[in-house]
Chain A
Amino acid sequence: MTQPVFSRRNALGLFGLAGLAATAGCGSSVGGGSSAGSSASGGGGAIKVGLVIPQDGVYTPLGVDMKNGWDLFLERHDGMLGGYEVETVIGDEGEGPDTGVPAIQGLIQRDNVDVLVGIVNSASALGAAEAVAAAKKVLVISNAGANAVTGDARNPYIWRASFNNAQAAFAMGEYLASQQPEGGVFLMAPDYAAGQETFVAFKASYEGGGGTIAGEALTPFGTTQDFQPFLSAIPGSGAGATFVFYSGGEAVSFVQQYAGFGLKDTVPLYGSGFLTEGSVLEAQGEAAVGIQTALHYSTEIDNPANTEFVEAYQEAYDVLPTCFAVQTWDAALVLDLALADAADLSGDAVSEALGGVGEISDSPRGAWTFDGQSPKHVEYLREVQEGDGGLINVVVEELGEYGQ
């Protein structure tokens, strides 16, 4: 869902991590590349997990949520995954592959971790694929949604416990095709990989279901502060609904301006769930009420696992969980299941065990399975409403199961 933005912090991170990587290189040459792992095989030993999350840059809030999800799972399972005592080493992913890939290399070579978890940015995930394959370590991705990660660019060591970019857009396309908004749908997304994947998936299901596209606009990613020039095309297009994919800062500006230019009341707004997920929803405020989105999670899903999860999360961190926290919780959950069956901690054994976990029944998002190496799960139609403690994403209906 993400793409690197070049900024001076990025550049600084690059310098910093270049230094780190150099140190890591020295460490491994001295210690010798022991891919045999530091832990005893079989149950009852210890496992070292590298958690790669952004601790600097625009995705830092996601990194916080992911760490919370991970910590909460371990806390509620006595610090154990599949019978192994867990030691977590954190690596800073930064904003893009220029920092994310060295962070992963450092964890593999310097810290000698057995398994890796995390990664927000799809470009970092694609960049890391080679490193984890060469080291034969399993990476369980807990965000990065580019289809290619577990599609064209797949290798046996990369598993995904989050989502892929096409799912929410495809589900929403089917739903809007069934709703038949008069005048068709206007599409908007940032002009980068995730935005383009969203366009393709939405059109495939929406036009496949007989809908017409009233118009579309790809906005320059990272440099668009003001959406008015693009928004002004919507009334003229005669569209009866707008579907967008925005996240983070762009989601906040977009939703506020959509309301500010009076479109919210005339052309209903639909989106991929990241439009109204987590801290952005708070910043959007009243402008977000009534927006409908599709996502694989909402805090309002009614199942025992979610109720327990939301309660525990709120107690521990005093905020509502986000899909990013759930995805990392689920990464821990699948590792917990897989490690219990794995013959040893080698990448091949863990990967094989992940292939055999079957249905993951007690996830907060509801039961899901691996379709290939990426989740097949229910997409929920959610609507932003005023709740007791602020805005929430209320589940309107289930849109069905979607896979790789």
Chain B
Amino acid sequence: MTEWFADNFISILNGLAIGSLLFILAVGLSLVFGMMDVLNLGHGALYLIGAYVGFQFTGGISSWGGFLTALAVAAAFGLVAGLILSVATEPLVGRGHLDQALLTLGVALVVAEVISIIFGDDVQNVVAPPGLNESIQVFGNTYPAYRLALIGVGAVLAIVVWLVIEKSSLGALIRASVSDREMVSSVGVDNRKVKAGVFAFGSMLAALAGVLGGPVYGARTGLDETVLLLALVVIVIGGLGSVRGALIGSLVIGQVESLGRANLPEFASFMLFGALAVVLIVRPRGLFGSKVGAP
């Protein structure tokens, strides 16, 4: 057992790093879909914007200034984009998920094409900031320092988001508007603002994930589809509208993609959807599906 653990230590660690990144990406999608009941297929495009913002401001040079600027710019981009998406989907409330999917997918296509026109189709490299831009020794294994930092960032964000949603009065307002919109508006709260706020926050996290994921996945066309698919799998596994579900879903997929692939390389292609199928058969609502938010 300890020998197995030692052999697979790096894979487990890596699964945590990938899981952290997936959590930052997927929690926004889960909140918007699960709590606000809006299916946002533009979520991957927000990640892509973040990735290219990261490339634009670091430009192949390792610097904290560039990296932090990129984070700030991407956060601002994400907030604004989330507000716009929220306003754009407002007339579609009550018209079903298909109309929302069409609108947000359309926006995603336009964004991806514009990025491709501006930056071209070459694969771009995003460099981690100094100090994290190297490999360190972890119990005798070489491991990129940046991925370790990613685990820390993911953990901090998970705690913050969980505290906000579950423990703060703001979170209570959000949860209340999900369970009974009319009651919330009758006590004088405009629940469109609540929706816009959640949308903007979720979109900001997606754009931040783009910058944070840059040193791992780079910036290239088509990345938006890849990460959107991963995020959808995560929220289906974890269950909609639950911070805890998004966290567990991310960690599970992180390990499936890392530990699973390392131990069963011949099944690597099917493993992601195999895990999805198992969860759907055993627990169709997802591991932590919330009853109120689920459509």
Contacts and interface: CB of A to CB of B under 8 A. Distances in A.
Contacts of B79: none
Contact of B257 (A226, A236, A253, A263): A226
Interface stretch (B6-14, B177-185, B239-247): B6-14
B109 A229 contact: no
Given A61-B121, A229-B268, A279-B123, A236 B226 contact: no
Contact of B14 (A191, A228, A252, A279): A228
A53 to B, nearest CB: 13
B226 A58 contact: no
Given A57-B121, A261-B135, A285-B125, A229 B144 contact: no
A212 interface: no
Most chain B beta-carbon contacts within 10 A, residue among A191, A224, A249, A259:
A249
Contact of A230 (B60, B109, B222, B265): B265
Interface stretch (B29-37, B91-99, B212-220, B277-285): B212-220
A220 interface: yes
A229 B257 contact: yes
A218 B216 CA distance: 21
Contacts of A32: none
A220 B269 contact: yes
Interface string B260-292: 111001001100100000000000000000000
Given A7-B222, A228-B11, A261-B144, A252 B261 contact: no
B265 A233 contact: yes
A230 B261 contact: yes
Interface in A7-27: 7-9, 12
Interface residues of A, number: 39
Contacts of B8: 232
A256 to B, nearest CB: 7
A262 B142 contact: yes
Contacts of B109: 8, 12
B27 interface: no
A259 B127 CA distance: 13
Interface string B1-19: 0000001101100100010
Given A225-B217, A249-B218, A261-B135, A61 B120 contact: yes
Contact of B123 (A7, A12, A249): A249
A248 B14 contact: no
A191 B105 CA distance: 30
Given A220-B269, A260-B144, A229 B262 contact: yes
Interface string A51-63: 0000001101100
A124 interface: no
Nearest to B271: A220
A229 B258 contact: yes
A280 interface: yes
B86 interface: no
Given A220-B268, A249-B218, A232 B11 contact: yes
A188 to B, nearest CB: 10
Contacts of A374: none
A260 B222 contact: no
B217 to A, nearest CB: 5
A256 B125 contact: yes
A283 interface: yes
B20 interface: no
B225 A252 contact: no
Contact of B261 (A60, A229, A253): A229
A217 B267 CA distance: 11
Contact of B258 (A228, A253, A260, A261): A228
Interface string A26-69: 00000000000000000000000000000001101100000000
Contacts of B123: 248-249, 252, 279-280, 283
Interface in A285-299: 285
Contacts of A283: 122-125, 218
B162 interface: no
A219 B267 CA distance: 10
B265 A223 contact: no
B268 A226 contact: no
Given A60-B121, A61-B122, A217 B265 contact: yes
Given A233-B262, A285-B60, A226 B18 contact: yes
A328 interface: no
A276 interface: no
B226 A261 contact: no
B269 A191 contact: yes
Contacts of B222: 5, 7, 9, 58, 249
Contacts of B121: 57-58, 60-61
Contacts of A280: 123
Nearest to A263: B142
Contacts of B14: 226, 228-229
Interface in B74-127: 105, 109, 112, 120-125, 127
Contacts of A7: 222, 225
A284 interface: yes
A35 to B, nearest CB: 36
A220 B269 CA distance: 5
A230 B262 contact: yes
B259 interface: yes
Contacts of A279: 122-123
B56 interface: no
Given A279-B122, A280-B123, A283-B122, A253 B217 contact: yes
Most chain A beta-carbon contacts within 10 A, residue among B11, B141, B265:
B265
Given A9-B112, A219-B268, A229-B268, 15 more contacts: A12-B109, A60-B120, A61-B122, A225-B226, A226-B14, A226-B18, A229-B11, A229-B259, A230-B261, A230-B262, A232-B10, A249-B222, A253-B217, A256-B125, A283-B122
A-B pairs, 10 with minimum CB distance: A262-B142, A229-B261, A229-B262, A60-B121, A260-B144, A220-B269, A283-B125, A249-B123, A279-B122, A252-B123
26 contacts: A7-B225, A57-B221, A217-B265, A223-B269, A225-B216, A229-B11, A229-B14, A229-B261, A229-B262, A229-B268, A230-B262, A232-B8, A232-B11, A233-B262, A248-B123, A252-B125, A252-B218, A252-B220, A253-B217, A256-B218, A260-B144, A261-B144, A262-B135, A263-B142, A280-B123, A283-B124
